[in-house]
Amino acid sequence: MLILALGAAIYAGYVYPHEPDTLGRYAVAILLSALLASILFHDLGVYDGDFIFRRTLRANRVIAAWAVTGAVLLAVAFALKISDQYSRVWALGWFAAGTAGLALGRIALGGWILRQGARGRFANRTAIIGTGPQAMRLAEHLRTCDAMRTRLLGFIHVPEGDPATPCPTVRDQGADLGTLDDLERLIRAERVDQVLIALPWHQAELIESVVARLATTPVMVRLAPDLVGFTYRGKAFAEMAGLPVLHLFERPISEWAYYLKTFEDRTLAILGLALFGLPMLLIALAVRLDSPGPVLFRQQRQGFNNTTIEVWKFRTMYEDACDPQARRLTTRDDPRVTRVGRFLRRTSLDELPQLFNVLRGEMSIVGPRPHAPAATAGGRVYAEVVERYAARHRVKPGITGWAQVNGWRGETDTEEKLRKRVEHDLYYIDHWSIWFDLWIIVRTLAVPFSHRNAY
């Protein structure tokens, strides 16, 4: 509604007085923009309850979705050759006002939610059935991660399924609510909103009997994960043949998404080669004239599914100093780097030949950067530093990525730098969408070529 209102208001105030016959096409543009933005908001989880209650990223995703909306509409307008039919002042004013309005509105909403949450307005009064280790871990998790929406009343002791002596937490906090009979009385008195069953899953008959007793009560009843479930927190449940199953790992890009990303990669690679074809020829000539040796540097790196691929780059070092195994990291003012190479590395233009890797299907435009198998951080190969390092290879490597646009690029001389890079790579894999790719591309093009970590 805010987007519709701002677009209409700016049109009414600036365009309509001078061009009253343009109402139809402007109305279509405003409605399509609002519809596309709503779809993107939903796709990015902006409307999800978990997202709304988070203390961070309150406005970031909203602005990201609005930026992608503007980029898509601009591309469509240029493709259909109708961009000259719309006022640039109106478009820029609408985009700027929309950005400010969405950001401020989201921040204001988040602040109001936090204030109300601190007063307990959104908290469900919760009782946990169980007093064993599983129940204690659940309680601690709720206190740490969901305190705003969960007010823990205490624990219900089930003699058949709990330890003979309740855990110290129950005794120390005086949070023993009694037995199931006591719980039913609390529910009837409307003092409980939610009941979490935290009994060991191997006690199926006991759980079934507890569920049967609670089936007629007007409260939310949920089965908490067994102890092993806390290892995989954050994973979603789905239905398979009518049964709930816990999704541990999905194929990051599968079915239609695979074909969509392939189309994205090939299309952008062709456009990139068309756009940078002449500059690439000039760069090749400069590399050849600057120092003897081949124009391209070919290096074996790890690709999709941990296979070995040959990555192409413009050569930036003297031929006798090239390091195909990447055993020695490039450092600032590295004497092995040529004059032209220093410029290419600083501007990332040395990566342009990887557009051919994309056309060959070995790489993507967006994805984790490919590394050489022998590369090290802090004297140890990457796979020894980060336990889940190999999980980066669940997708094709990319020319740019989430880690790079967040500043984690260049030399990985410490283990912490590598961990941060891998952390961002895995976040990208777990949250992939076509819109996420477009947002990374927009950020890549929006930032100046030069970067303090590029040398």
Domain residue spans of the chain? 2-118, 124-246, 256-446
Q: What are the E-state strand segments in 88-185?
A: 124-129, 150-156, 176-178
Q: What count of other Cβ atoms lies within 10 Å of the Cβ of residue 165? A: 9
437 or 174, which is more confident: 437
For residue 375, what pLDDT is reported?
Answer: 81
> Which amino acid is residue 312, in one-letter code?
W
Q: What is the mean pLDDT of the chain?
A: 79
Q: Is the pLDDT of residue 355 over 90?
A: yes
Residue percentage of the chain with pLDDT more than 90: 18
For residue 233, what pLDDT is reported?
Answer: 61
69 or 428, which is more confident: 428
For residue 310, what pLDDT is reported?
Answer: 93
For residue 85, what pLDDT is reported?
Answer: 75
Sequence-distant (6+) residues with CB within 8 A of 56 are none
State both tokens at 120: 């307990």
For residue 117, what pLDDT is reported?
Answer: 64
48 or 404, which is more confident: 404
Burial class, 169, CB count within 10 angstroms (exposed 0-12 / middle 13-18 / buried 19+): middle
Instruction: Please state the pTM of the whole predicted model.
Output: 0.55
Q: What are the E-state strand segments in 180-334?
A: 194-197, 220-223, 237-240, 243-246, 296-302, 308-314
Short-list 53, 50, 55, 46, CA closest to 102: 46
pLDDT digits (tens, 9 = 90+) for 365-381: 999 999 888 888 877 88
401 in Cβ contact with 428 (< 8 Å):
yes
pLDDT band, very low/low/confident/very high, at 313 (cuts 50, 70, 90): very high
State both tokens at 435: 């819109």
For residue 78, what pLDDT is reported?
Answer: 79
For residue 429, what pLDDT is reported?
Answer: 92
**Region 139-146 average pLDDT:** 79
pLDDT band, very low/low/confident/very high, at 271 (cuts 50, 70, 90): very high
Encode 198-234: b = buried (16+ Cβ within 10 Å), e = exposed. Answer: bbbeeeeebbeebeeebeeeebeeebbbeeebeeeee
Which of 114-123, 228-237, 309-318 comes out lowest in average pLDDT? 228-237
Residue percentage of the chain with pLDDT more than 70: 76
For residue 141, what pLDDT is reported?
Answer: 82
| DSSP label at residue 424 | H
For residue 268, what pLDDT is reported?
Answer: 92
Q: Which of 28-32, 69-73, 101-105, 421-425 has the highest mean pLDDT?
A: 421-425
292 or 322, which is more confident: 292
Q: Is the pLDDT of residue 142 over 70?
A: yes
Residue 369 CA to residue 425 CA, distance in Å, equals 8
pLDDT band, very low/low/confident/very high, at 174 (cuts 50, 70, 90): very low
In the chain the first and final C-alpha atoms are separated, in Å, by 47
**Region 168-180 average pLDDT:** 65
Q: Is the pLDDT of residue 20 over 70?
A: no
Q: Is the pLDDT of residue 10 over 60?
A: no
pLDDT band, very low/low/confident/very high, at 455 (cuts 50, 70, 90): very low
Q: Which of 14-28, 56-70, 301-315, 411-425 has the highest mean pLDDT?
A: 301-315
Which of 4-13, 243-252, 285-294 comes out lowest in average pLDDT? 4-13
Q: Is the pLDDT of residue 139 over 90?
A: no
For the domain covering 124-246, report its CATH number. Answer: 3.40.50.720
